[in-house]
Structure 1
Amino acid sequence: MNQLHSFQAVPSTRNAFDAYSTLPEPPRPQSTHAPRAHTQQPIVTGTSVLGIKYEGGVMLAADNLASYGSLARFKDIQRLHPLGDNTCLAVAGDMSDFQYMTKLLDATLRADRSVSLTDTHPPFSPQNIYTYLSNLYYARRSKVNPLWNAILVGGWDKEKKESFLAYVDLLGTTYSAPTLATGIGAHIAQPLLREAYEAKAGVDGKGPLLTGQEAEELLDTCMKVLFYRDARSLNKYQIATISNDGVKISDSKSSETEWGFAEGLRGYGPQTQ
C-alpha cells in the first residue's frame, strides 16, 4: 500500500522556469549601502571677483568666464547675482554649486515675500543674507560636503543707511572689509584696491570714500591687471553697482590691452640671442 507523503512548500527566490533549469542560480545583488561620495574637486570654475565700497554704495566686479579645467570653455557666464532690491553676490569657484546656492536663496526670498504679504517684518537685508550664507557654508563644510565657492556679498542697508560688503568661502570663513577680493585677486588686485581706498579715506577709513566714477575706473584697472596675470581670467567682465536706488549690473565690457611688450620677454632657459 502506497503511503502518502506530505511535502511542505519552501519559499524560494527562483521562479517556475528556474526550477527546471540546470543553470546555476545568478548571484544575489550586493548591498547598495556603499559609502557616500562627495565632490572633492571643482570641474567648471570661475576665477577672482572684486568688491569695494564707494560713496553711496558698493561695487562688485566679475568676468564672464567659466573654465573647464584649464580650458576657457564658457565665455558668457554672469557671476553677479542680484538678490532682492539692494543685495548682490559676486561668486567665484564651482559653477554648479553657484547655481545650487542661488536657486536656494531665490526660493528662500520668494517664501519670505509671500510671508511679508501677511506680516509687517522688513525684507531680508544684506546682513541677513550674509548670515544665512555663513551658516549654510559652515554647515556643509561640517558635513564634509562643502559648496566650493568664495562669495562677496555687497549691498545697501536701507534701515542703517550704509553700505555692506563681506566675504564667505567654502570653509565658512567670514569677514568684512571696505575692499575685498577672492582667489588670485586677493594677491594681485587687493593691494591696488586697498592702496586707492586708503589714499583717499585714510588708513582708518574715516575720510571721504571714492566717488562712483573713481571706484569704477579702479575696478577697470584691476580687471585689466588680472587679465594680464591670471591664466583663468577673461577680458570680458561686468560691474554691479548697489546703492539706495537698487542693483544695476552693467553689460559686458572689455579693457584695452597691449601685448607688444611680450616680444621682448625671455624665459629662464638659455638665451639664443
Structure 2
Amino acid sequence: MNFTASKQPENCLLGPESDSQRTLYPYVTGTSVVALKYKDGILMAADMGGSYGSTLRYKSVERMKPIGKHSLLGASGEISDFQEILKYLDELILYDNMWDDGNSLGPKEVHNYLTRVMYNRRNKFNPLWNSLVLGGVKKGEKYLGTVSMIGVNFEDNHVATGFGNHLARPILRQEWHENLSFEDGVKLLEKCMRVLLYRDRSAINKLQIAKITEEGMTISPPYSLKTYWEFSAFENPTQGAVGSW
C-alpha cells in the first residue's frame, strides 16, 4: 500500500518551483500513538485506521516500525509523509551500517535526527505532516521522545500524539509509575486506547502494541479491545445539552 503526496496546481507564474510536490493538505491520515516506559523497556500502541478525510477508508495501516537495532518509531498524521520519513531512516541506518565499526545508532541519535528533519522541512514551508514517537533501549538505558511536524520535541516517561495528547496523557500522569510490569503497562495502554476509541471518531477497534527491550523488539498481531456501549451518555448524548437537537 503506497500513498502519494498531493501536488501543487501548475502555474507558470510560480517559476522553477512550480513542479515541486508538497502535502498541502493531509489526505490519508492516522490518529493517536501512545507510548510509555515500563520496567524492562518501552511499550507503544497505535490503531490501524487510515482516514480519507472523515471516512475511515483503510483498516490495516501499520503505523509502528522498527528502526535499526535499538529503536521503534510510531507516527500519526499523513501516511505518505510517514513513508517518506521511513525512506530517510532506511538511508540513515544503511549509511551507519556501512561503517562496520561495531557501533549502531541508538534511539537518542535517531530522535535528534528526526527533530532536525522535521524542523528543516518546516523552515522550507514544506512540512512532513506527522507527529512522531521514538522509543528504544540501548545499553540498558530507556529512551522515549516525540517530535511534532514543526520540530517541537521533548523526552518524557510517557508520550502521546493527536487526541491522545489530550485524552490519554491525563490517565498516564495519574497511573504511570517507574516499575510498571509488562502486563500492567499493556493494561494501561489498552485503557488509553479504549478511551480514544470512545471519543475519537478517527480511531478504530483494531490495534497493535509493540515492545522494545535490550533483547529486541516485538510488534503484536492486530487485535480488538472489549468495549461497552450501554453507558447512558452514549445512548442519549445530547440530553441536557443546551441548544442541542
Same structural fold, with TM-score higher than 0.5 when normalized by the shorter chain: yes
- 5+ residue gaps, structure 1, are 1-29, 202-207
Q: 2:23 touches 2:129 (CA, 8 Å); kept in 1?
A: no
CA deviation digits over 1:200-246, x for unaligned, max 9?
A: x4xxxxxx421111000000111111000001101110011010111
TM-score (norm 2): 0.88
- Structure 2 counterpart of 1:263: 235
**RMSD in angstroms over aligned alpha carbons?**
1.9
Going from structure 1 to structure 2, the CA distance change for 1:166 and 1:270 (only over 3 Å counts) comes to closer
State the shift of 1:266 in Å. 3.5
TM-score (norm 1): 0.79
State the shift of 1:50 in Å. 0.3
- Structure 1 counterpart of 2:223: 253
CA deviation digits over 1:19-53, x for unaligned, max 9?
A: xxxxxxxxxxx678265463322111111100100
The structure 1 residue matched to 2:184, chosen from 214, 218, 227, is: 214
Going from structure 1 to structure 2, the CA distance change for 1:32 and 1:233 (only over 3 Å counts) comes to closer
Q: 1:53 touches 1:209 (CA, 8 Å); kept in 2?
A: no
Q: 2:197 touches 2:204 (CA, 8 Å); kept in 1?
A: yes
**Structure of higher CA gyration radius:** 1
Going from structure 1 to structure 2, the CA distance change for 1:32 and 1:142 (only over 3 Å counts) comes to closer
Q: Which runs of 4+ in 1 moved over 3 A?
A: 34-38, 264-272
- Greater mean deviation of Cα atoms: 50-59 or 35-44: 35-44
Distance 1:263 1:151 in 2: 35
Distance 2:24 2:32 in 1: 20
State the shift of 1:194 in Å. 1.4
- % identical aligned pairs: 37
- 5+ residue gaps, structure 2, are 1-11
Going from structure 1 to structure 2, the CA distance change for 1:34 and 1:122 (only over 3 Å counts) comes to closer
Distance 1:264 1:145 in 2: 43
- Structure 1 counterpart of 2:45: 61
Aligned residues: 229
Distance 2:184 2:13 in 1: 63
In the TM superposition, 1:121-270 aligns within 5 A as 122-158=103-139, 161-197=140-176, 201=177, 208-261=178-231, 262-267=234-239, 268=241
Distance 1:149 1:32 in 2: 27
In the TM superposition, 1:114-125 aligns within 5 A as 114-116=98-100, 120=101, 122-125=103-106
